[in-house]
Amino acid sequence: MLNLLTNNLFLFDPLALFFLAVIFIVSLPSIVYSFSYLKGEYSTAKILLAQVLLLAFVLSMALVVSVSNCLIFLIFWEIMSLVSYFLVVFDTKQAKSIQAGLIYIVMTHIGTAFIIAAFMILHNYAHSFDFFAIKNACQAMPSQTKDIVFLLFLIGFGTKAGIVPLHIWLPYAHPQASSHISSIMSGVMIKTAIYGIIRFVMFILGVNSSWWGILVLILAVISCLVGVIYALMEHDIKRLLAYHSVENIGIILLGVGLAMFFTSLGLPYLAVFSLIAGLYHLINHAIFKGLLFLCAGSVYKATGTRDIEKLGGLIKKMPQTAAYFLLGAMAISALPPLNGFVSEWLTLQAFFLGAFNVIGGNKLFLGICAAMLALTSGLAAACFVKAFGVTFLAKPRSHYAESAKEVALPMRIGMLILAVLIVIFGLAAALIIKLLARVSGSTLGIDISSMTFSLNNFTLAPQTARNIYLSTPTLALWLLIFGIVGFVIYRIFGRGKSVIYKTWDCGYYKLDSRNEYTATAFSKPFRVAFSFFLLPYRKTQKIRESFYHIKSFSYETHTTKVFKKYIYDPVLAIVFKTAKAMRRIQLGSIHLYLGYIFITLLLLIIFIGQF
């Protein structure tokens, strides 16, 4: 049992290398960004501490994905969780940070407990902590044990990834951390949980039952919808982005779940394709969510508030940040020809191709899941129209936004790197899919040398269907050409004069920023349409001077936090009640405590004496 430090402690197979690439791609711009983000917020000593913690965080994540021993994996997993906890509560002046940190650390440790339980069961069968030894032993494991281990891993890693209903820490922890930390946490740390699922469930346990894939798919669809619906209601930029992380984890898990489903049905090429879709969305999400959080941090740093209802008109004051945020918003709404479009297209295509190849009711199930994915991408686009539009466009809504200035150079460079990567990952899709095919082939243990994924290096062609292609460079080219054609028509055919004047104000003379559409108003149709889930309620208060004259009227509209109210609060109430009941044995007297120990000792000796 004590063969902890075997020779092969690290494992750098394609999956680990892929995740290392994800980690470093997102962490490096954040580190560049942090140089000017932290300046002026804290004292120099505290900034140094923040940077050290950041480096420790990145290093621990890199080590988590590259070790091949369960115990060492757990050690680095814990280090990652603890360091990120410190980073979440770093701004100790705000009470919200402490609360967020508490929720985060409790949830992540609950998840770790489940992972440890799964490891213990695996060790029972394999008598070793090494991945390959466990993989060999898992082939002989009975099916019920595999099911239990799968569920333990799903809950354990799901807590860290943010699958609904275990996502509750995400909207608390991500807004409170500093923006570059949020970008790393949301972009990379959640993905290490997906790494855990892929590594332990697909690579080591081996998927044999189809209900695993179906469960993951259902959970993923629920996460997508819940995440995006809550995101639509949020007006704190970073909390909005945190809920979008929940949604995108759902989309990634759609790809992974499909891969599990197809592996269990014996469709290897489709499984490889679905896993490619999931992994592609993983790296895409890391990049554009990292970029969006950095932009949100720039906005926060420049204006001092995260509430988008108080912002507006920032596109004129912070043009570069606005451009980067727009690029990130376009990527997350899956607009061509950027990277989000490619990965969502791939996921949808995986559903469709799967539907062509499975039988009966499974087809309908896959179709409905695909429709739900389309719904979430539509809702996500709506949410980002709101986020970008209310924050950056129109007139400033408060003094916060009026005094904004463009941020410093390191922050802009950090954002630029990620923005360039978004475009590259969109245009070079065919190349990246070739790389990802190697990763998923090696993870699933399937030989991919006979799969042809692209004709030339610019077009994608999923092998298992005929005549389906996607070529983002061609698309971008045609979009550009038609844009130029439109511009030419514009120039040639029209009269050249443009007059700058006030916005149409229906004859009212003085319109100001109070007439602009607010974010709450923007999301009202969604609030009404999804009211069965959001359970909105309103509080109004009228202060009257007389019956006819109302001096002031305040109106608040809230949505019920369904998960907190119906799941977490009752569970917490039960836990506290039990703890209170057990407090009765604690009377405060040392003699009583010593007496407890003594009597236990005596009883133990009698007990052992019986045997």
Partner 1 sequence: MQGIILFLLLASTYLMVIAKRMPALIRSFRYQSFFLFLVTFLAAFNEKVIELYVVSGMIILVKVFLIPYFLNLTAKKINLDENLGLFVNSQLSLVLALIFTYYSWVLSVNLGFGQGSLQSVAVTVAFSVIFIGAFMMISRMKAFTQVVGILIMENGIFLFASSASGGMPFFAEIAIFFDIFISVVIMGIFVFRINKLFTHIDVNKLSRLKG
Partner 2 sequence: MMIILQIILFILTAPLLSGLITKIKNNLRMRKGQSIIQPYYNLVKLFSKDEVISETASWIFRVTPFIVLSSTLAAAILIPVFIFASSAHHMGDFLALIFIFALGRFFLALSALDTGSSFGGMGASREMFISSLVEPALCMVIFAISLQFSSTDISAFSGMHAITVSSVVAAIALFLIVIAETSRIPIDNQETHLELTMVHEAMVLEYSGRSLALIEMASYIKQMIFFFLIAQLIFPIGGLPLGNFVQMLLWVLWCITRVVIIAITVALVEVSVAKMRLFRVADFLGFAFVLGVIATVCAILGV
Question: Could you say which residues in the range 445-464 bind partner 2, by CB under 8 A?
Answer: 455, 459
Is the Cβ of residue 211 or residue 598 nearer to partner 1 in the bound state?
A: 598
Choose the contact partner of 449 out of partner 2, partner 1, none; CB within 5 to 8 A by kind.
none
Residue whose structure tokens are 């990834």: 161
> Does 601 contact partner 1 by CB under 8 A?
yes
C-beta of residue 32 within 8 angstroms of C-beta of residue 414: yes
C-beta of residue 429 within 8 angstroms of C-beta of residue 472: yes
CA atoms within 13 A on the CB side of 210: 6
Given 12, 469, 553, 566, the residue binding partner 2 (CB under 8 A): 469
> Does 604 contact partner 1 by CB under 8 A?
no
Bond prior to 165 in cis (omega within 30° of 0): yes
* 319: three-class secondary structure by DSSP: helix
Given 348, 401, 407, 448, the residue binding partner 2 (CB under 8 A): 348
Is the Cβ of residue 257 or residue 313 nearer to partner 2 in the bound state?
A: 313
Choose the contact partner of 356 out of partner 1, partner 2, none; CB within 5 to 8 A by kind.
partner 2
Is the Cβ of residue 95 or residue 581 nearer to partner 1 in the bound state?
A: 581
- Number of residues lying near partner 1 (CB under 8 A): 15
Quick one: which H or E segment has residue 224? helix 210-233
> Does 373 contact partner 2 by CB under 8 A?
yes
Report which of 307, 308, 304 is spatially closest to residue 405, judged by C-alpha positions: 304
Sign of CA dihedral 282, 287, 288, 291: positive
* Residue 570 exposed, middle or buried by CB count within 10 Å (0-12, 13-18, 19+): exposed
Given 388, 400, 425, 453, the residue binding partner 2 (CB under 8 A): 388
Structure token digits, residue 430: 């065919």
* 234: three-class secondary structure by DSSP: coil
Choose the contact partner of 590 out of partner 2, partner 1, none; CB within 5 to 8 A by kind.
partner 1
Positions in 303-322 near partner 2 (CB under 8 A) = 312-313, 315-316
Minimum distance, C-beta of residue 327 to partner 2, in the bound complex (Å)? 12
Minimum distance, C-beta of residue 597 to partner 1, in the bound complex (Å)? 8
Report which of 59, 96, 70 is spatially closest to residue 3, judged by C-alpha positions: 70
> Does 607 contact partner 1 by CB under 8 A?
no
Is the Cβ of residue 94 or residue 600 nearer to partner 1 in the bound state?
A: 600
Minimum distance, C-beta of residue 333 to partner 2, in the bound complex (Å)? 6
> Does 508 contact partner 2 by CB under 8 A?
no
Report which of 424, 430, 433, 427 is spatially closest to residue 475, judged by C-alpha positions: 427
C-beta of residue 252 within 8 angstroms of C-beta of residue 211: no
Given 510, 539, 551, 583, the residue binding partner 1 (CB under 8 A): 583
E-strand ranges in 305-439 read: none
Choose the contact partner of 605 out of partner 2, partner 1, none; CB within 5 to 8 A by kind.
partner 1
**Contact positions vs partner 1 (CB under 8 A):** 583, 586-591, 594-595, 597-598, 601-602, 605, 609
